[in-house]
Amino acid sequence: MRQENIPEIKGILRRHFLEIPKVINKVSGIRIFGKIIKSLIFTTDVAIVRNINADAIIAVYPFTPQPIITQAVITAADIPVFSGVGGGLTSSKNRVLNLALHAEFQGAIGVVVNAPTTNNVITALTKKIDIPVVVTVVSEKEDVQSKIDAGAIILNISASNKTPFVIDQIRKKLPDVAVIATGGPDEQTIMDTINAGANAITWTPPTTAQLFKSIMEKYRVELPNKN
């Protein structure tokens, strides 16, 4: 007899953790090395990484990628990690290849390159590593087909409020390509992104500072007045 309800088990001290918006579970997911990934969190904060129920982490950041950051996130994580390896600010082909190889050796499930990454670098990556190359797409004007031809396995659509539109344009030409996309600020924008054709959703969690603010406000209310 099939059971509809999934038993849920929580520890006493770990009840306070972040949960992704449940609407994300409506996506199809992407199966990578046998693991189905529907939700990804956009963070390099290891405290967040250890206290969230997402399926994977997308560890990209606005600085030159450094192996020690990749190592720290992968070491802390108990879920798969997609590691940013540059391609924008870090445009050197050899450096991008070395960063990608290091990420694979550390256990990353995929590497993410920035939108300006050339097709030559994408091709070189696919020959160098045996994990998926994820290419970031920021506009409907990009030549996505050439990136696929160069060896990109997954598209990471990050086009702000135009993300659903960009996905829709890509789906008209590439109905079967794997798509990760930013979901936006609320459940409606996430649903719009899913309906446009995203296979997996990236969600940006609140920062530790934001979380601390709500906790501290709660403490101030609950502490007894000793005056």
Q: Tens of pLDDT along 136-181?
A: 999 999 999 999 999 999 999 999 999 999 999 999 999 999 999 9
Give the pLDDT of residue 24: 97
Is residue 45 domain-resident? Answer: yes
Is residue 189 within 8 Å of residue 21, measured between CB atoms?
Answer: no
Say how far residue 39 (Cα) sits from the centre of its chain: 7
Q: Give 29: exposed, middle or buried? Use CB within 10 Å, 0-12, 13-18, 19+.
A: middle
Dihedral sign, Cα of residue 140, residue 86, residue 130, residue 146: positive
Is residue 14 domain-resident? Answer: no
Q: What is the mean pLDDT of each run of 10 residues along the chain (227 residues)?
A: 69 76 96 97 95 96 93 96 87 90 97 94 96 97 96 97 97 96 94 97 91 82 64
Is residue 2 domain-resident? Answer: no
Of 159, 186, 190, nearest in space to 26 by CA: 190
What pairs with residue 155 in β-bridges?
Answer: 135, 179
Which pTM value belongs to this model? 0.90
Is residue 7 domain-resident? Answer: no
CA distance from start to end of the chain: 61
How far apart are the C-alpha atoms of 80 and 131, rounded to whole Å?
12
CATH code of 55's domain:
3.20.20.60
Looking at the structure of the chain, the number of domains it has is 1
Domain range spanning residue 138?
22-221
